[in-house]
Structure 1
Amino acid sequence: MREYTAAPTFTIADEDTIVGSVFGQAEQAPRRVLFSRPVGDDWVDVTAAEFARLVSEVAKGLIANGIQRGDRVVLMSATRFEWTLLDFAIWAAGAVTVPVYDSSSADQVRWILEDSGAALAIVEKVRQKDMLVGVPDTLRRLLVIDDGAEALLIADGASTPDADLRDRLDALRADDLASLVYTSGTTGRPKGCMLTHRNFLSEVRGILNATIGDVARPGQRMLTFLPLAHVLARAVSLAALEGGMTQAHWSDFKTITGQFARFAPHTILGVPRVFEKVRDGADKKAREGGNLKGAIFRFAEQTAIRWSENLGHTGGFARRPSLLLRAQYALCDRLVYAPLRAALGGHCEFAISGGGALAPRLGHFFRGVGVPIYEGYGLTESTAAHCVNVPGAIKIGTVGKPLGGNAVRIAEDGEIELSGGVVFTGYWHNDDATATALSDGWLRTGDIGELDSDGFLSITGRKKDLLVTAGGKNVSPGPLEDLIRSHPLISQAIVVGDARPYITALITIDPEAFDSWRAENAHPATTSIADLHTDPTLRAAVQQAIDDANTTVSHAESIKKFAILDRDLTEESGELTATLKVKRHVVSTRFADAIEAMYRH
């Protein structure tokens, strides 16, 4: 199959906006608990009526600070209740949210401020103010969440007439710009994806009109812990609000397990690395309990995978499990699966994964445990999920079928192309990049894939070089490699990290520069690169080059480990093109052992 279209299951009126969900919930069910806000050791409920009031008061504060319709407001913070509150308030004021990862480097933050022409910036912590030194003249004010930005805006807006806010809300339209979401590009400069209210509504209603909507309903709880600057977390959070779920926010991944037990969510949204950590944590705990417990976990893991493999695409059994497998499963459920479900809060019945490829083995393990993970696929340019597996229609190893109102096709060269209401309108102030990405309403993804006869999409490769870590972070390797190669001792740098937990690099040493370095460091003239590729002094020199490159990117994009290869890459060996460009697939295959070693230790 070359193309598959999912029929629309909803409509969007021209006057519909994503912020309308807030006031709709307040009108229909004012006492419905939409959020649990952490205050000290407790969770404090926030009803639909209370949230709508807060959004209105903060929005009036933005208006009082001179924010006009269409103005861009930068929001740089870890995931927390205030993030969502400010996002909706910015929209209510008729402005445009520009989310920024709190882990971004100073260079990245300044570029986004300059490129977006932001009128206001809101950061989470006082120390982040230093990143805004020398920002453009368009920035009129800087607020800090930890310094009471919410209260300050509410106070500022106290004298703003309600009619002013109503005028802003009434003027909003579905096709108005809602957000500029910056994403890494191959040039190294992040590009601002223009997402409209219609884009977000298409995503939210597509999610809710799939059978996922059975989960996103009043009385269900979701713990949001991925960065809300990531379009996936933001889109699912918006869908949860429109569906009437209760959400809580948490940003400290190191303590997230305790929050699962504390909040007992019904739904977990994660990237593959989240689920890898849950599985690895259970394995580690079992091994620490002794050889017997470790063996039991390994047996239970295999049993869960075999159980899942017996399940069909609709969730029922495609093959009835044998009597032996059923007995083994019942035993493993008592010993391993039930405690693992309890560690997730005891109520989790639904997990969503995106932002990177989920290993099929991991998907089978969790489905066998009783917590199915529904994997999806999309880009920032498609407002998060375009295709997704859903209850009743799941094929592990694929990323599912398009959400309603969207289509996917495979181009002649195998590239995946997407269309539909979720596809963005283009890049901010970058017509050339827009023309490259969009053609007659179809988004060129840069990924290679296949469609099966049922319309399920599988990702088989990557046409572009952009890496996506297991944590869902987009990393453009080119700028890092260019900086590292600028060191006189280094010939080639190949950044690695696609579907991996962190970024690493393969380094080759320039043969001529090595001759000088060898003499300066009193090594015999007969000593080769292969002899010294683990030498501490040589590694220290390379480490300095990597440290310098790492200062230009966020922590999540920085190189954590590197390996020095025992020789340089050459055209003759097939590792370089005639124009001396690295053939990544050849290098990755040829030096697979060196790559794997960086992730084993």
Structure 2
Amino acid sequence: MTMSLADEHPDLTIIEQRATSVAQLFVDRVAASPTREAFRFPVGEQWRSMTWRQADDRVRLIAAGLVSLGVQPEDRVAIAAATSIEWVLADLGVMLAAAATTTVYATSTADDVIYIISDSGSRVVFADDDSQIEKLRAHRDSIPGVAKVVTFHGTADGEWVIGLDELETLGAAYLKDDPTVLDQRIGGIEAQSLATLIYTSGTTGRPKGVRLPHDAWTYEAAAVDATGILSQDDVQYLWLPLAHVFGKVLLTLPLQIGFPTAIDGRVDKIVENLPTVRPTWMGAAPRIFEKVYGRITTMMADEGGAKAKLFDWASANGTKVATLRSEGKPVGAMLAAQHAVGDKLVLGKIRDRFGGRVRFFISGSAALNRDVARWFDAMGMPILEGYGLTETSAASCVNRPHANLVGTVGWPIPGTQVTIADDGEILIKGPGVMQGYRGLEDATAEALVDGWFHTGDIGELLETGHLRITDRKKDLFKTSNGKYVAPSLIEATFKGICPYASQLVVEGDGRTFVSALITLDEESIMEWAAGKGMQDADYHTVVTSEQAREMVQDYVDELNLGLNRWEQIKKFIILPRDLSVEEGEITPSLKLKRKVVIRKHQQELDDLYN
């Protein structure tokens, strides 16, 4: 049988003795392993390495530079940049200066950037490049509180905008005059001092600033450490947006545990980087796993013949073995022998594409399709699905390698409590829960009741202690026949069935039947098209073709076989382009903005019901 939560015995002393602040956590890490590798990052075509001591040298210059600019304890310092080594060093510099980081996505519109910087009261902004600087300069009158912009790769003007190297020069001069300033700043940070302001990417209205104290981050790091799933010998590959709470918590873990982190925020470089970095684990959103699954399975199917049969045979045996192990059941001698052969001939080669050392992946931010999860498990690279929100500092629950129950988000991390309200809503209490929303007392009071955070998600706790998410409370809708439909589950299921699907958006609120908007992954569908005699056609022509519609219809029919009658998709629209962050249809963490998409295509959906 699958292990239960009662079987786990985490080392709670790790949590009880956690550092007071992120700054202290970093200082302690530098002292414990000064010459060990801390970060790995690309410079041109090459990767460079930085030890903890080398990181400390630069972080202290940045921190002192911020102090020289007049940044006071708990003052907000914004970072508007893509994931990079500079983002990491700047954030740590903010921590050592006892200030608080305001995170801003590099993909955010100028309007959102200005709102966040203004609402947060940020005094200094780290800007990635000239495109980020221009967003600020064009609306400078709206952010009078910003005293200085520090750019990583953009053009400095020597006045309002300075380079990162100039900031470090200022820091060096300040430390020469006052060498103990940072020690004083770090010593003055309290557990509940503000560390981070992360703005939720709301689908309606303005985003809300989530106040997360130092204690939330040090707790998260200590709690994950206590589970024992990671060690100093691991290697993390980190590409997720560090402006997102998931990326931010993954950045805090190495400070606690001490493993090196390879950092490169370029999503198009993930596949290319993996064999070079050779990570032992990586966090990602489900869309990344769906794309890999779809690409490899369709590629093998297109091969046909003996190669496809061998792949299917090895995959089937891998699935059987993974299932038995997850249920705590023995693997028979015959199956074990067959799996060993298939692993050597097929599965091991697939793992090599990921560097050959992956022990597991961690998935968060949205629902993961069960078939995709089982496939990765069969390949020998299990995905540990986790759960959390910006308001809970990301990690509230996560599956464990020794008790990975597919279809759930695992057990609560040590020190976090999870309960289910009478209406099925998931409630969370623990040190990772936010202090509140900045300047929004009513919204805070509504979300936090007697210390319990109301997540807005619907779920259930299994007998084993695993949490299963059903859907977003606000996403559940009722058809005109009075039947409830959970769209997220249907959407995740479809993306595991159809290897060409990018997005499925289910609609049917108050309608007589359920319909859907569908987008197709450009890379996958164009390869499919080439095999159908449409190699010279463009994406728009392919996805709007009758051939593509017939192909998608077959997958929709397959999906419907597993749904209740009132959940089945009766009609659908294939959109002529994929959803994008730039158009505000998905978040930078690849989460669907359902209401935005449905509103954009309201007329087309209405026409389906006429």
**Can you list the C-alpha shifts for 1:305-341, whole angstroms capped at 9, x where unaligned?**
222111135xxx4143462x33442332123210111
Is 1:35–1:46's contact at 8 Å kept on the other side of the alignment?
yes
Cα gap change, 1:52/1:374 in structure 2, threshold over 3 Å: closer, same or farther? same
Cα gap change, 1:504/1:145 in structure 2, threshold over 3 Å: closer, same or farther? farther
Pick from 38, 41, 61 the counterpart of residue 37 of structure 1.
Answer: 41
Q: CA RMSD in A?
A: 3.4
Distance (Å, rounded) in 1 between the aligned partners of 2:471 and 2:585: 28
User: Aligned-pair distance for 1:237?
Assistant: 2.2
**SS at 1:460 equivalent:** strand
Q: Which residue of 1 aligns with 2:364?
A: 354
Q: Equivalent pairs: percent with the same residue?
A: 33
Indicate whether 1:203 and 2:214 are aligned: no
Q: Which residue of 1 aligns with 2:186?
A: 169
Pick from 121, 126, 129 the counterpart of residue 125 of structure 1.
Answer: 129
Q: Which residue of 2 aligns with 1:573?
A: none
The one-letter amino acid of 1:216's match is S
Distance (Å, rounded) in 2 between the aligned partners of 1:131 and 1:363: 40
Q: Which residue of 2 aligns with 1:380?
A: 390
Distance (Å, rounded) in 2 between the aligned partners of 1:293 and 1:171: 64
Indicate whether 1:110 and 2:127 are aligned: no
Cα gap change, 1:250/1:549 in structure 2, threshold over 3 Å: closer, same or farther? closer
Pick from 278, 287, 290 the counterpart of residue 276 of structure 1.
Answer: 290
Cα gap change, 1:400/1:548 in structure 2, threshold over 3 Å: closer, same or farther? closer
Distance (Å, rounded) in 2 between the aligned partners of 1:332 and 1:401: 32
Q: Which residue of 2 aligns with 1:306?
A: 320
Pick from 405, 410, 413 the counterpart of residue 395 of structure 1.
Answer: 405
Indicate whether 1:192 and 2:202 are aligned: no
Q: Which residue of 1 aligns with 2:455?
A: 445
Gaps of 5+ in 1: 468-493, 509-533, 536-541, 571-601
Pick from 89, 94, 98 the counterpart of residue 93 of structure 2.
Answer: 89
Cα gap change, 1:567/1:26 in structure 2, threshold over 3 Å: closer, same or farther? closer
Q: Which residue of 2 aligns with 1:10?
A: 14
User: Aligned-pair distance for 1:358?
Assistant: 1.5
Which residues of 2 match residues 530-549 of structure 1 at below 5 A? none
| TM-score calculated relative to the size of structure 2 | 0.76
Q: Which residue of 2 aligns with 1:521?
A: none
Distance (Å, rounded) in 2 between the aligned partners of 1:568 and 1:286: 36
Indicate whether 1:183 and 2:200 are aligned: yes
Distance (Å, rounded) in 2 between the aligned partners of 1:327 and 1:174: 53
Q: Which residue of 1 aligns with 2:415?
A: 405
Distance (Å, rounded) in 2 between the aligned partners of 1:454 and 1:504: 32
Distance (Å, rounded) in 2 between the aligned partners of 1:223 and 1:548: 23
Cα gap change, 1:497/1:379 in structure 2, threshold over 3 Å: closer, same or farther? farther
Cα gap change, 1:442/1:330 in structure 2, threshold over 3 Å: closer, same or farther? same
Q: Which residue of 1 aligns with 2:241?
A: 227
Distance (Å, rounded) in 2 between the aligned partners of 1:429 and 1:497: 37
**SS at 1:294 equivalent:** helix
Is 1:283–1:297's contact at 8 Å kept on the other side of the alignment?
no
User: Aligned-pair distance for 1:464?
Assistant: 2.1
Q: Which residue of 2 aligns with 1:140?
A: 147
Cα gap change, 1:89/1:329 in structure 2, threshold over 3 Å: closer, same or farther? same
Distance (Å, rounded) in 2 between the aligned partners of 1:121 and 1:204: 26
Pick from 326, 331, 335 the counterpart of residue 320 of structure 1.
Answer: 331
| TM-score calculated relative to the size of structure 1 | 0.77
Which residues of 2 match residues 476-487 of structure 1 at below 5 A? none
Gaps of 5+ in 2: 155-161, 478-486, 496-501, 510-543, 546-574
**SS at 1:302 equivalent:** helix
User: Aligned-pair distance for 1:461?
Assistant: 2.2
**Bigger Cα displacement from structure 2, 559-568 vs 374-383:** 559-568
Cα gap change, 1:318/1:96 in structure 2, threshold over 3 Å: closer, same or farther? same
Pick from 413, 430, 433 the counterpart of residue 440 of structure 2.
Answer: 430
Q: Which residue of 1 aligns with 2:524?
A: none
How many residue pairs are counted as aligned between the two chains? 505
The one-letter amino acid of 2:343's match is D
Distance (Å, rounded) in 2 between the aligned partners of 1:278 and 1:80: 24
Indicate whether 1:339 and 2:343 are aligned: no
User: Aligned-pair distance for 1:270?
Assistant: 1.3
Distance (Å, rounded) in 2 between the aligned partners of 1:166 and 1:178: 17
